[in-house]
Amino acid sequence: MSGHGTPIPMTSRPCGPLKGTANVPGDKSISHRSLILGALCVGETRITGLLEGDDVLDTARAMRAFGATVTDHGGGEWTVSGVGVGGFAEPQNVIDCGNSGTGVRLIMGAMATSPITATFTGDASLNGRPMGRVTDPLALFGTQAVGREGGRLPMTLVGAAEPVPVQYTVPVPSAQVKSAVLLAGLNAPGQTVVIEKEATRDHTERMLQGFGATLHVEETDEGRVITLDGQPELTPQTIIVPRDPSSAAFPVCAALIVPGSDVLVPNIGLNPTRAGLFATLQEMGADLTFENMREEGGEPVADLRAKFSPDLKGIAVPPARAASMIDEYPVLSVVASFAEGVTDMQGVKELRVKESDRIDAMAKGLRAAGVQVDEGPDWWQVTGLGHGNVPGGATVASQLDHRIAMAFAVMGMATQKPMHIDDGSPIATSFPIFEGLMADLGAQIVRSNT
């Protein structure tokens, strides 16, 4: 439950080369899904490498509230004894999903076709985010939702007692919406069909298949057509969560911009629906090497080495790649500031409805640090100044957004003057070991009151 505590001001100072191994935490998307799917099986699911960030801990608490037994065995080892598809109990109290859009939207989907009522809330960031994108398709199953104006939390969902299967074309590129519909479809009779025009992260599809659901994916002219057979009996699994490529992005990008750096990030998930940042960085001239490519638990995994890259160039990021790197634009815009020329990012309207309006949050901070940023409703451009030329010396607002806080912490490692971040506390939602891990590599991030 981030954003409920005292703000943590931070300063990130220019530092010497970053060197060593960065063992980043488990994947956030897969961690949420492991707990939720574990709760929807009868029997015990074992999870290794679960991300123990606030977002996922909120989902663990929520699964307990719906009747599952969720046990932390220490060191990232967890078990979930589930209640089965359609077996959720009615929670005794309000479900607080903290900062997590993924948590609340997936859980809404998972409970929407059970004859129970639940009320959801979150922190100031989450309570400002649109939920209609999930409650609209859930209404087609027969679920009722009553929330605040504009479809905002706090919100109560009355699950459909006699759900009907649904065919739904997702109007925005969103894995959360797709996943909410699929999870709701689990307890509807017959086949639920979800069509997405642009492919988004496919962890839900892969994991549903892994848990024994019958799910087919077909690439058609209309897009990806996903068909799920309802009311399966899911089988408990043993899950090894790969390390999060979205968290890996921070030490990787830091290594690219700090002279002399050489950082290894082992075991990161490289699902093609998540790996767009790395292709983009390579096109910009980044020195990245993928070692030991392999498959673990149904997901491609590799060890990634990133070295200081003296000749970074601005590029036009293909809009078709946006969904596969949607969480990485904040830190990409930092790398773009140290490149020569313009980095053009189009087709990224979704950035405006994340934990913050990420175009606005980054544009304000980058400008304060001396970098030119131009923006429109669904695009932005960063004009890079080249290595050694980015002034920095600004105090920036993280706006309750972990990725904004970490992006500016990375920036301060290579600017002329330190970067000050008003509140680093949201970092605990996805990357609770960020400060220690970066310090071990040689970064100088201190908690400050500057």
Among 58, 327, 328, 423, binds ligand S3P (CB under 6 A): 327
Is residue 1 near ligand S3P by the rule CB under 6 A?
no
Q: Which is closer to ligand S3P, CB of 35 or CB of 257?
A: 35
DSSP for 145-187?
A: EEEETTTEEEEEEE--SS----EEEESS--HHHHHHHHHHHTT
Among 68, 108, 175, 226, binds ligand S3P (CB under 6 A): 175
Measured from the Cβ of residue 216, the count of other Cβ atoms closer than 10 Å reads 13
Do the bridges between strand 395-396 and strand 77-83 make them parallel or antiparallel, or are there none, so unpaired? Answer: unpaired
Is residue 113 near ligand S3P by the rule CB under 6 A?
no
Could you give the CA distance from residue 70 to residue 369 in angstroms, rounded to a whole number? 45
Is residue 343 near ligand S3P by the rule CB under 6 A?
no
Q: Which residues pair with 243 in a beta bridge?
A: 26, 268
Q: Do the Cβ atoms of 110 and 133 come closer than 8 Å?
A: no
Is residue 179 near ligand S3P by the rule CB under 6 A?
yes
Which amino acid would we find at residue 22? A
Q: What's the closest the beta carbon of residue 24 comes to ligand S3P, in angstroms? A: 15
Q: Determine the interface stretch with ligand S3P among 80-88, 168-176, 256-264, 307-315 (rule: CB under 6 A).
A: 168-176
Q: Determine the interface stretch with ligand S3P among 108-116, 170-178, 336-344, 369-377 (rule: CB under 6 A).
A: 170-178
Q: Which is closer to ligand S3P, CB of 1 or CB of 385?
A: 1
Q: What is the dihedral of CA 43, 204, 149, 348, to 10 degrees?
A: 160
Q: Among 75, 74, 50, which residue's Cα sits nearest to residue 63?
A: 50
Is residue 2 near ligand S3P by the rule CB under 6 A?
no
Kindly report the backbone phi and psi dihedral angles of residue 35, in degrees, each rounded to the nearest multiple of 5, phi listed first: -70, -45
Q: Determine the interface stretch with ligand S3P among 6-14, 16-24, 175-183, 208-216 (rule: CB under 6 A).
A: 175-183
Q: What's the closest the beta carbon of residue 284 comes to ligand S3P, in angstroms? A: 22
Is residue 102 near ligand S3P by the rule CB under 6 A?
yes
Q: Which is closer to ligand S3P, CB of 287 or CB of 299?
A: 299
Between vectors from CA 41 to CA 91 and to CA 31, what angle results, nearest 5°? 80
Among 1, 110, 213, 326, binds ligand S3P (CB under 6 A): 326
Q: Which is closer to ligand S3P, CB of 59 or CB of 143?
A: 59
Q: Which is closer to ligand S3P, CB of 122 or CB of 384?
A: 122
CA separation, residue 287 to residues 100, 155, 358, 405 (Å): 33, 47, 27, 25
Q: Which is closer to ligand S3P, CB of 180 or CB of 335?
A: 180
Q: Which residues pair with 148 in a beta bridge?
A: 152
Q: Is 401 a catalytic residue?
A: no
Instruction: Tell me, residue by residue from 20 to 59, as one string, x for binding to ligand S3P by CB under 6 A and - for no binding.
Output: ---------x------------------------------
Is residue 201 near ligand S3P by the rule CB under 6 A?
yes
- DSSP 8-state class, residue 26: B
Among 11, 114, 174, 271, binds ligand S3P (CB under 6 A): 174
Q: Which is closer to ligand S3P, CB of 102 or CB of 247?
A: 102
- Catalytic residue of the set 55, 287, 327, 401: 327
Which amino acid would we find at residue 307? K
Q: Taking each helix axis as running N to C, give the angle between helix 132-141 and helix 175-185, from 0 to 180 degrees, rounded to the nearest 10.
A: 20
Q: What's the closest the beta carbon of residue 420 comes to ligand S3P, in angstroms? A: 26
Q: Among 190, 168, 189, which residue's Cα sits nearest to residue 180?
A: 168
Is residue 350 near ligand S3P by the rule CB under 6 A?
yes
Q: Do the Cβ atoms of 58 and 98 come closer than 8 Å?
A: yes
State the residues that interact with ligand S3P by CB under 6 A: 29, 102, 174-176, 179, 201, 326-327, 350
Residues assigned a catalytic role: 327
